[in-house]
Amino acid sequence: MTIDSTALATLEKQAIELPSWAFGNSGTRFKVFGTPGTPRTIQEKLSDAAKVHELTRLAPKVALHIPWDKVDDYAALRDYAANLDVTLGTVNSNTFQDDIYKFGSLTHTDAAIRQKAIDHHFECIDIMSETGSRDLKIWLADGTNYPGQGDIRGRQDRLAESLEQIYARLGDDQRLVLEYKFFEPAFYHTDVPDWGTSYAQVSALGDKALVCLDTGHHAPGTNIEFIVAQLLRLGKLGSFDFNSRFYADDDLIVGAADPFQLFRILYEVVRGGGLDDDSPVAFMLDQCHNVEDKIPGQIRSVLNVQEMTARALLVDRDALSAAQNAGDVLGANAILMDAFYTDVRSDLAAWRESRGLPADPMAAYAASGYQEQIAADRVGGQQAGWGA
Ligand code: PSV
Ligand code: MN
Ligand code: MN
């Protein structure tokens, strides 16, 4: 099986947004290991992200997290990014690290605290207007640890009211994506635990509100591709946070833990029109690199998405639906598996070369001298997030 020209045209347009925080040092609650060359500023994070894009042409946008990436002049940051041939993407809000949000943010019982959280989102929307970003991504740590601790129903109602105010502030070309996560940091209940809750909340808001699906935010065994198919069918899949997991919200390199799952997800994306020109779906990474180098970690990630997209595009959909309609269980399964088992790496390498890109972006990065340069230039790099 080879990748045909229609598939190559789709692959050529593929864009995967990188998270600024992936370039900072991160770790577990046990230890954050430092890495030579870690960026000290958002400008340095942008230049690292631009390197990933330069070598792959897959990563033209960088997502910001506020306040981690706060600056005085966002118009200047926008220009800075443009000079590096990248643009500023999704703005992620953050109501999970301040003491006042200990018992919730948009769901809090105290109207003054809810207002503070709403104001933070207003600030994010103002930033989006300056950076030219389309999407506001909201992930809430809100939830409880013990049965009875909070009024689950009341919290939903307050969430809906808070989101309504944030939604009303969006510009015509701006959107809100609501991310769900089944647990953590709250362990008994989370206020937006699943796609159904996110869907119910964003549906009440309007067309500019959609669901964000983070692949690491489901219970083990969840059929994520089914959720993808359903949200695409409903026109409410706004974005992906791609990463992979073995156990909880591991934030490992996408496609590392279960390449087949990534293939199945991307097949449903293709099937549901998620790669079409008018698709509402934004593709983002939400990863942290605890022990591996960050820039090659991001290069590996976007290449994994590209490879699995290429394999998903190889599925012979006519033959598949014929087999499905004929009740040919094993035939249909074989058609899907044939595409999954096709190694597209050498075809993609040749295609990259034909476009003036390195055949092997990982090797090209290692040979570029960039890592040595940043290690020498940057002293005292940042932690992802909290140290930023
Ligand atoms: C929460 O686990 C999450 O996936 C959200 O997207 C946050 O904004 C992100 O991680 C960064 O910590
Ligand atoms: Mn996420
Ligand atoms: Mn997460």
Domains of the chain: 5-377 (3.20.20.150)
Distance 214 CA to ligand 3 centre (A): 7
Q: Ligand 1: does its nearest atom lie under 6 Å from the Cβ of 286?
A: yes
For ligand 1, atom 6, name the residue with the nearest CA. 139
Question: Mean pLDDT across the chain, nearest whole number?
Answer: 97
pLDDT tens digits, one per residue of 101-110? 999 999 999 9
What share of the chain has pLDDT > 90, as a percent? 97
Burial class from Cβ neighbours inside 10 Å (0-12, 13-18, 19+) for residue 280 reads middle
pLDDT tens digits, one per residue of 76-96? 999 999 999 999 999 999 999
Answer whether residue 386 shows pLDDT above 80: no
Angle between helix axes 259-271 and 329-340 (nearest 10 degrees) is 110
How does residue 33 score in pLDDT terms, banded at 50, 70 and 90? very high
Tell me the best of 138, 139, 284 to mutate to test the pocket of ligand 1, counting ligand atoms within 8 Å of each CB and taking the most. 139
Q: How far apart are CA 53 and CA 200, in angstroms?
A: 36
Residue type, 244: S
What is the per-residue pLDDT for 385?
Answer: 67
Q: Which residue has the tokens 């960039």?
A: 370
What is the per-residue pLDDT for 380?
Answer: 73
Answer whether residue 3 shows pLDDT above 60: yes
Classify residue 27 by its DSSP letter.
B
For ligand 1, atom 3, name the residue with the nearest CA. 139
What share of the chain has pLDDT > 70, as a percent? 99
Answer whether residue 388 shows pLDDT above 50: no
Exposure string of 177-202, with b = 16+ CB inside 10 Å and e = fewer, is: bbbbbeeeebeebbbbbbbebbbebb
Residues in Cβ contact with 370 at an 8 Å cutoff, skipping those fewer than 6 apart: 51, 295
What is the pLDDT averaged over residues 118-124? 98
Q: Ligand 1: does its nearest atom lie under 6 Å from the Cβ of 251?
A: no
Q: Dihedral (C-alpha) 233, 236, 241, 243: value to the nearest 10 degrees? A: -20
Which ligand places an atom closest to the C-alpha of 90? 1
Distance 179 CA to ligand 2 centre (A): 7
pLDDT tens digits, one per residue of 163-204? 999 999 999 999 999 999 999 999 999 999 999 999 999 999
Q: Dihedral (C-alpha) 7, 12, 18, 22: value to the nearest 10 degrees? A: 80
User: Which of ligand 1's atoms lies nearest the C-alpha of 19?
Assistant: 11
What is the pLDDT averaged over residues 57-82? 98
Return the SS3 of 97.
Answer: coil
DSSP code per residue over 167-181: HHH--TT-EEEEE--
Helix extents (H) in 178-293? 195-205, 224-234, 259-271
Q: Ligand 1: does its nearest atom lie under 6 Å from the Cβ of 245?
A: no
Q: How far apart are CA 314 and CA 336, in angstroms?
A: 9
Which ligand places an atom closest to the C-alpha of 138? 1
What is the pLDDT averaged over residues 32-60? 97
Residue type, 381: G
Which has the closest alpha carbon to 305: 244, 232, 365, 237? 244
Q: Ligand 1: does its nearest atom lie under 6 Å from the Cβ of 68?
A: no
How does residue 1 score in pLDDT terms, banded at 50, 70 and 90? confident
Q: How far apart are CA 126 and CA 226, in angstroms?
A: 35
Q: How far apart are CA 100 and CA 116, in angstroms?
A: 9
Q: How far apart are CA 224 and CA 210, in angstroms?
A: 17
Answer whether residue 382 shows pLDDT above 80: no
What is the per-residue pLDDT for 387?
Answer: 43
Residues in Cβ contact with 196 at an 8 Å cutoff, skipping those fewer than 6 apart: none
Contacts 24+ apart (CB under 8 A), 114-121: 114/158, 114/162, 117/162, 118/162, 118/165, 118/166, 120/66, 120/93, 120/94, 120/95, 121/93, 121/166, 121/169
Which ligand places an atom closest to the C-alpha of 386? 1
Q: How far apart are CA 61 and CA 313, in angstroms?
A: 23
pLDDT tens digits, one per residue of 194-243? 999 999 999 999 999 999 999 999 999 999 999 999 999 999 999 999 99
Which has the closest alpha carbon to 205: 112, 120, 154, 138? 138
User: Which of ligand 1's atoms lies nearest the C-alpha of 216?
Assistant: 4
